[in-house]
Amino acid sequence: MPDPSAPMPPSAPAGQDWLAGASPRVRAMCAELRPRLFALDPRVSERISLRYCVYLMDGRPFAYVYPHGARLKLQLNLKRGYLENPDGIAKCISGMSSRGRSVWQIEIADGRDLERAMPLVRQAFKAAERRV
């Protein structure tokens, strides 16, 4: 498991830490999730805000990551009805989000949840790749 005390890469503007106040456990989950998202394709990039990090495929967002207490909240940018969710771990939040097409939310509490979420993340990534 990655070192939770290690700082996140300096892609955020100076003085901004989207994980400010996050627990070491949440920081460790972010450190584990980040390389998996970049491994999807060399064109994947990230944009960091004050409160969240968005992952993009050629400028098209496919996943938003938020610290949420002792968990990570992951929102996938995929239309309703297009997600194959056999485990039922993703929840439809259509109409509750201002992130456009981002209508699926997954809460990640540990590495096991992250493993279960990655196939769903790949689906959102593939959809963003097709939109390019």
Q: What pLDDT was estimated at residue 101?
A: 59
Q: What pLDDT was estimated at residue 14?
A: 47
Q: How many CB atoms lie within 10 A of CB 132?
A: 9
Domain limits of the chain?
24-131
- Tell me the C-alpha to C-alpha distance, in Å, between residue 78 and each of 1, 20, 104: 29, 28, 7
Q: What pLDDT was estimated at residue 106?
A: 93
Q: What pLDDT was estimated at residue 20?
A: 83
CATH classification for the domain delimited by 24-131, as one of 1.20.1510, 3.30.465, 3.90.1150, 3.40.50 = 3.90.1150
pLDDT tens, the chain, 132 aa long: 344 444 444 454 544 588 888 888 999 999 999 999 999 999 999 999 888 999 999 988 999 999 988 899 999 988 777 788 888 899 888 766 555 556 899 999 998 999 999 999 999 999 888 875
Contact 55, 45 (CB under 8 A): yes
Q: What pLDDT was estimated at residue 62?
A: 93
- Tell me the C-alpha to C-alpha distance, in Å, between residue 61 and each of 2, 42, 57, 79, 116: 25, 15, 6, 13, 21
Q: What pLDDT was estimated at residue 61?
A: 92
Q: How many CB atoms lie within 10 A of CB 130?
A: 9
Contact 105, 74 (CB under 8 A): yes
**Token pair belonging to 5:** 């005390």
Q: What pLDDT was estimated at residue 108?
A: 93
**Token pair belonging to 31:** 């450190």
Mutual angle of helices 111-131 and 24-38, in 10-degree steps: 40
